Amino acid sequence: ASTLGAAAAERGRYFGTAVAANRLGESDYVNTLNREFNSVTPENEMKWDALEPNQGSFNYGNADRIVSHARGRGMSVRGHTLVWHSQLPGWVNNLSGSNLRSATNNHINQVMGHWRGQIHSWDVVNEAFEENGTRRNSVFQRQLGNGYIEEAFRAARAADPNAKLCYNDYNTDGQNAKSNAVYALVQDFRNRGVPIDCVGFQSHFNSQSPVPSDYQQNLQRFANLGVDVQITELDIEGSGTAQANNYRRVVEACLAVSRCTGITVWGVTDKYSWRPNGTPLLFDGNYNKKPAYDAVLAAL
Ligand code: XIL
């Protein structure tokens, strides 16, 4: 196959990208998106501050534009993200106890209900752990306690029974204190029948956090718990052959794990990457294919 999406499909996987609604008017952006990718994740448009800036009033427009663009072209959609400490509207941070619980349940019900049956996978909870494996001190953790992750997954299952429900995090790509904590959470959920279908590995790599040597092994140990694994926000700093080799390793790791069901890169082109001045993606600022692109396509 001659595109990322078609090549991934031949391997029973998807190949996706993060998409920004405000770029959908740029023809090079849209042409590259439509040609190469068969899954999308809204980069910011499904975050709490975007969808429910004031309590109880929901703005679906920008996210809807992405969902209809994708679904109209047969692409699947990852929902990102329901419960996260960041990009939260101020009013959520000011709620306590039962008010936060009901606001969170309502957010999950409304948002998942709005796109019920249209979202392949939802990042139900994002980035709940610290590097040392303890719980992040978020408003959810402080007000609702350890059970908030389970509560969110139970609410999510009820709100859209057909969506795969993922836990998503960064720096969990290799075996370390943080990924061990996520592993223990998933194992506990599986043992107790708490709904969870997938674990997302963001996979933001750079010289400080390179592709771990045990990446494949780590994906496999999660898969062995009976969940799918997905590479959800891939980008790798660098350029040329070194970057291409790192991308190849990521693709090979996913293909070696039968439950690794897809890869999403965190943007179409270097010029709109969230990493300032970085060049971590597969297309350069002029939408030319980089060596990393060729390596990924060849590896698929
Ligand atoms: C980033 C977006 O790419 C930026 O545009 C935004 O300003 C901040 O968030 N982990 C996540 C993503 O789960 O939602 C983040 O996306 C990158 C880190």
Q: What is the pLDDT of residue 270?
A: 98
In this predicted model, what pLDDT tens digit does every residue of 133-188 receive, in sequence order?
999 999 999 999 999 999 999 999 999 999 999 999 999 999 999 999 999 999 99
Q: What is the pLDDT of residue 102?
A: 98
Minimum CA distance residue for ligand 1 atom 1: 274
User: Residue 46: helix, strand or coil by DSSP?
Assistant: coil
Nearest to 48 by CA among 134, 7, 108: 108
Name residue, tokens 């859209």.
160
Mean predicted lDDT score pLDDT of the chain: 98
Nearest atom (ligand 1) to Cα of 123: 13
For the cut 90, the answer to whether the pLDDT of residue 299 exceeds it is yes
CB of 65 closer than 8 Å to CB of 33: no
**Span 266-273, mean pLDDT?**
98
> Is 233 one of the annotated active-site residues of the chain?
yes
For the cut 90, the answer to whether the pLDDT of residue 69 exceeds it is yes
Residue of 62, 82, 86, 122 to test ligand 1 pocket, by largest number of atoms within 8 Å of CB: 86
CB of 186 closer than 8 Å to CB of 139: no
Q: What is the pLDDT of residue 276?
A: 85
**Span 92-115, mean pLDDT?**
97
Nearest to 63 by CA among 45, 78, 79, 51: 45
For the cut 90, the answer to whether the pLDDT of residue 111 exceeds it is yes
Q: Is the CB of 273 under 6 A from ligand 1?
A: no
**Span 22-46, mean pLDDT?**
98
Q: What is the pLDDT of residue 277?
A: 87
Instruction: Please state the pTM of the whole predicted model.
Output: 0.98
**Span 222-230, mean pLDDT?**
99
